[in-house]
Amino acid sequence: MFIERNVFYLKFGASRAAIQLWKDYLSAAHEFDDQIQARLLTDLSGTGYVLVLELTYPTYAELEPSRCRLTQLPSWREFYQKFIPLCERSERTLYKTEVAY
């Protein structure tokens, strides 16, 4: 298994709107494709206004951005245009699962 971790550093005061946007989009995405495995995390400590999206993929090839199931939905562009103004910056990190119990 492979994990893509997207960390979004949100603008001050933008958390509530950003979280709701992602919840709505992920719900619609999962209805469209129930193979999408995603987790949305928020910060409890450390740097404030951080939103983390983790996506799980069974194969390395699926980490290719052009194959991302989440961005294949017709509503992706509209969603992303609403989310961009709420975000200061982001970073993307890829992980390989070595063991899981």
Mean pLDDT of all residues in 69-74:
86
What percentage of the chain exceeds 90 in pLDDT? 72
Whole-model pTM above 0.75?
yes
Separation between Cα atoms, residue 20 and residue 26, nearest integer Å? 10
**Tens-place pLDDT, residues 85-95:** 999 999 999 99
Half-sphere exposure of 70 (CA within 13 A, CB side): 23
Domains located in the chain, CATH noted: 2-96 (3.30.70.100)
CA distances from residue 36 to 11, 13, 17, 95 in whole angstroms, order as listed: 27, 29, 23, 17
Residue 65 has pLDDT above 80, yes or no: no
pLDDT at site 67: 81
